[in-house]
Amino acid sequence: MKRYSAFAVAREALSDHTGWGRAWRKAEPKRRYDVVIVGAGGHGLATAYYLGKNFGITNVAVLEKGWLGGGNTGRNTTIIRSNYLQDSSAAIFEKSRALYEGLSQDLNYTVMFSPRGVIMLAQTEHEVRGYQRTAHANALQGVTTEWITPQRVKELVPIINLSGPRYPVLGGLWQARGGTARHDAVAWGYARACSAMGMDIIQQCEVTGVRRDGDKVTGVDTTRGAIDCDKLGLVVAGHSGSLAQMAGFRLPIESVALQALVSEPVKPCMDVVVMANTVHGYMSQSDKGEMVIGGGTDGFNNYTQRGSFHHVEETVRALIETFPMISRLKMLRQWGGIVDMTGDRSPIISQTPVEGVFINCGWGTGGFKAIPGSGWAMAELMARGHSPLAEDFTLDRFTEGRFIDESVAAGVAH
């Protein structure tokens, strides 16, 4: 792999940039691998990367039925934060946030991490109590957040309207070291690093079955032939239930669409991320000037990846009261992604009833922020059979009643 640097750019400029080559190899599937990861999104690629980097396991295939990063990784709104209420949630999200800070250097690929800060607005007395409780919990967890007044919110976001008749701003939970990153670049950076370690990233390769010998996995059947493996990782977000059924077990999740949209580009007017959970709306401004806007999930189970006028109206109507200036903007495009929701709105990183099969799912609408930490924990679980970051996120918590309730700290779970 050619290392990216200012010297490399200058050197390539002398030859009209003809010597860069592919960022990752176009691989053909082999008959057998030590580990097969299903899903070449951020979480799957991060799992493969940390298997190689932390444990030296490089005989790995990452299978993707579509194209690399074409699922939720390329469809989200890129928010990164770690101010969650429960200790186990705060630990894995803070690990992820910290890894994001050095990810460009680690991967030798800029992921455009922007620690611009994230505000979660409190617009009801219930939210005030909930966010103040979260701020105290974060202080005990070592996660730097603070409760701020409406006046401080206005200083950070001059375009905000504090005195909306329905949704006044009563304060906010502020994490200065939260922010955003470029979603595509995260996937591309991990893919490039995995390929450089000799791993095979195989696109247009759909898994059609999981083969077992009794209670132990032996491999997968795909549209490009059978592949044997010792360990199998299922990291496919909204399609986790379908893959689990192929392997012979069920998951306590439901799949729904989450929608987002962007406006036409405008001059810089907002340099933080704002989340308004009461109205199920959140907004940031991209480097291109677009206002990136998202809302809640659809109210019914589905696998669609497109937007609807219902959510545009519902989300934008509420945000206009808080940000009156956006009423004059035109919508540029909208889209949807398929998210997997658990009952307690916390993920599953776990071994399964099938020996050698591991599952990473249930991130709901907040999976992007967790990519590095999720991959770190999943790789450790697959390599060692145990990960401190994942020990509370096992499948059996649902039968034992050990729920990790993040309904307040997650809000709309972004």
Q: What is the pLDDT of residues 77-92, one digit of tens each?
A: 999 999 999 999 999 9
pLDDT at 69: 92
Q: Please give the pLDDT value at position 408.
A: 61
**pLDDT beyond 70 at 52:** yes
Distance (Å, whole) CA 277 – CA 123? 8
- Quickly state the pLDDT bin for 300 (edges 50, 70, 90): confident
Residue 315, pLDDT score: 86
Q: Which domains does the chain have, with CATH numbers?
A: 27-82+84-109+183-252+344-410 (3.50.50.60), 118-178+255-342 (3.30.9.10)
- Residue 14: the pLDDT is 85
- Spell out the SS3 assignment of the chain: CCCCCHHHHHHHHCCCCCCCCCCCCCCCCCCEEEEEEECCCHHHHHHHHHHHHHHCCCCEEEECCCCCCCCHHHCCCCEECCCCCCHHHHHHHHHHHHHHHCHHHHHCCCCCCECCCEEEEECCHHHHHHHHHHHHHHHHHCCCCEEECHHHHHHHCCCCCCCCCCCCCCEEEEECCCEECCHHHHHHHHHHHHHHCCCEEECCCCEEEEEEECCEEEEEEECCEEEEEEEEEECCHHHHHHHHHHHCCCCCEEEEEEEEEEECCCCCCCCCEEEEHHHCEEEEECCCCCEEEEEEECCCCCCCCCCCHHHHHHHHHHHHHHCHHHHHCCEEEEEEEEEEEECCCCCEEEECCCECEEEEECCCCCCHHHHHHHHHHHHHHHHHCCCCCCCCCCCCHHHHCCCCCCHHHHCCCC
Considering the chain, what is the average pLDDT of its residues?
93
Q: What percent of the chain has pLDDT over 90?
A: 80
The structure's pTM equals 0.95
Query: In this model, does residue 143 exceed pLDDT 90?
Result: yes
